[in-house]
Amino acid sequence: MKEPLLLKIGRALDNDVILNIPFISDYHLEIFQDPEGNVFMTDLNSANGTFVNGKRLNGFIMLQPKDEVFLGNGFKMHWEQLLVNPKAAPTEPQNSKVTVDKEPKKYVDAFASLKEEKKQQQEKQTQKTPKVKKSFFQENKDVIIIWGLIFAFIVYWYFRVS
């Protein structure tokens, strides 16, 4: 039997996988791989949650090969890349740390489709409301009203005094 694997993931420096992303909690989740190769994920009461196949994870779950995992507000985690094949597992645990930059490429890719969709919606809105040039009176409506009130006051005052 091979040694089980336990990975702690979050922003804190004592995690095995460090993600310097604002919406990831200091201690976000744990991944455990037993000697038979079964993989379990546990959310550590993270603020923004862990989502497996679109459902928020409460407690733990046994992951399947096609499961999609998102952390917080949309960071797609490729959890399969963190694991060790049980047949090729090393006999001694490795003490290596993995650090992800503040703006990792996966983070950008996770939001690329949302940004593109939002951009398209904004373009549609600008197409729906074409810009019409306003006349002089429409652009200066407030100034004209103020001058009209001043003129009316002067006329009223003039006739009231005389």
Q: Residue 126 domain-assigned?
A: no
Using an 8 Å Cβ cutoff, are 8 and 30 in contact?
A: yes
Mean pLDDT of 114-119: 68
Mean pLDDT of 133-143: 80
pLDDT band at 106 (very low <50, low <70, confident <90, very high): very low
Q: Residue 128 domain-assigned?
A: no
Identify whether residues 104 and 146 lie together within a single domain: no
Can you give the chain as a three-state secondary structure string?
CCCCEEEEEECCCCCCEEECCCCCCCCCEEEEECCCCCEEEEECCCCCCEEECCEECCCEEEECCCCCEEECCCEEECHHHHCCCHHHCCCCCCCCCEEECCCCHHHHHHHHHHHHHHHHHHHHHHHHCCCCCCCHHHHCHHHHHHHHHHHHHHHHHHHHHC
The residue segments making up the domain with residue 14 are 5-118
Q: Measuring CA to CA, which residue among 1, 23, 24 is closest to residue 10? A: 24
pLDDT at position 24, please? 92
Average pLDDT of every residue of the chain? 78
Identify whether residues 99 and 144 lie together within a single domain: no
CATH code, domain with 72? 2.60.200.20
Q: Residue 85 domain-assigned?
A: yes
Given a cut of 70, is residue 36 above it in pLDDT? Answer: yes
Given a cut of 80, is residue 161 above it in pLDDT? Answer: no
Least confident range from 41-55, 77-91, 140-154: namely 77-91
Tokens (6 digits) for 98: 């993995």
Least confident range from 55-59, 92-96, 130-134, 141-145: namely 92-96
Q: Residue 129 domain-assigned?
A: no
Q: Residue 45 domain-assigned?
A: yes
> Kindly report the CA angle at 142 between 138 and 147, in degrees rounded to 5?
115
Identify whether residues 89 and 9 lie together within a single domain: yes
Identify whether residues 97 and 59 lie together within a single domain: yes
Tokens (6 digits) for 103: 């703006």
Q: Residue 38 domain-assigned?
A: yes
Report the alpha-carbon distance of residue 122 to residue 95 in Å, rounded. 48
* Global confidence as pTM: 0.51
pLDDT band at 121 (very low <50, low <70, confident <90, very high): confident
Given a cut of 70, is residue 79 above it in pLDDT? Answer: yes
What are 32's strand-pairing partners?
6, 40
pLDDT band at 144 (very low <50, low <70, confident <90, very high): confident
Identify whether residues 48 and 16 lie together within a single domain: yes
Q: Residue 127 domain-assigned?
A: no
Identify whether residues 140 and 88 lie together within a single domain: no
Given a cut of 70, is residue 119 above it in pLDDT? Answer: yes
Q: Residue 123 domain-assigned?
A: no
Given a cut of 60, is residue 20 above it in pLDDT? Answer: yes
Identify whether residues 97 and 160 lie together within a single domain: no
Using an 8 Å Cβ cutoff, are 35 and 83 in contact?
A: no
Report the alpha-carbon distance of residue 138 to residue 76 in Å, rounded. 51
- The total number of structural domains that make up the chain: 2
